[in-house]
Amino acid sequence: MLRYEARTDATPQTVWALMACPTRWAEWAPHVRGAWGLGWPQVQEGALGAARLWGVAPVPAKVIRVNPGESWAWQVGVVTIDHCVEALPDDEGALIAITMDAPGPLEGVLARTYGPVVERLVERLARASDDAIALGA
């Protein structure tokens, strides 16, 4: 399993609003050029839809788990991608984590190819969350 983390001063609720709402993904994931069928206003367990990545053909995905305010996961082909937010002790912000789980050698390929992208995405999500609290959102 591959795991990428970043810390933010924002509350878990602020992070969740960005992380779980498909219409807000472009605020922190600029390669996502649209998503549909995955739930509205937030991802919904069991939803089957697609995300358009890098402006190319849609990538089919299924939301397989949602723990509101905490985590959601989707299945993209044989890869499971989990998005989590956890409160840090003493109201010191939140920890954001994205994990990817894939069978066998595919995990190594993901680590070298999409892993660096996900690492930057987690950092962008943390910055977007910080910006949201700075703007009073």
With cut-offs at 50, 70 and 90, classify the pLDDT of residue 98: very high
Domain that holds residue 60: 2-134
Nearest to 38 by CA among 20, 56, 53, 55: 20
Number of domains in the chain: 1
Mean pLDDT, residues 85-111 taken together: 94
pLDDT tens sequence across 22-45:
999 989 998 888 899 999 999 999
pLDDT at 110: 93
Mean pLDDT, residues 55-75 taken together: 93
Supply the CATH number for residue 119's domain: 3.30.530.20
Mean pLDDT, residues 69-77 taken together: 96
With tokens 């053909």, the residue in question is: 57
With cut-offs at 50, 70 and 90, classify the pLDDT of residue 52: confident
- The answer for residues whose C-beta is within 8 angstroms of residue 134's C-beta and 6 or more apart is none
The DSSP string of 43-73 is: --TT-EEEEEETTSSEEEEEEEEEETTTEEE
pLDDT at 33: 82
Query: Using CB atoms within 10 A of its CB, is residue 37 exposed (0-12), middle (13-18) or buried (19+)?
Result: middle
Rounded to the nearest integer, the mean pLDDT of the chain is 92
The pTM score is 0.90
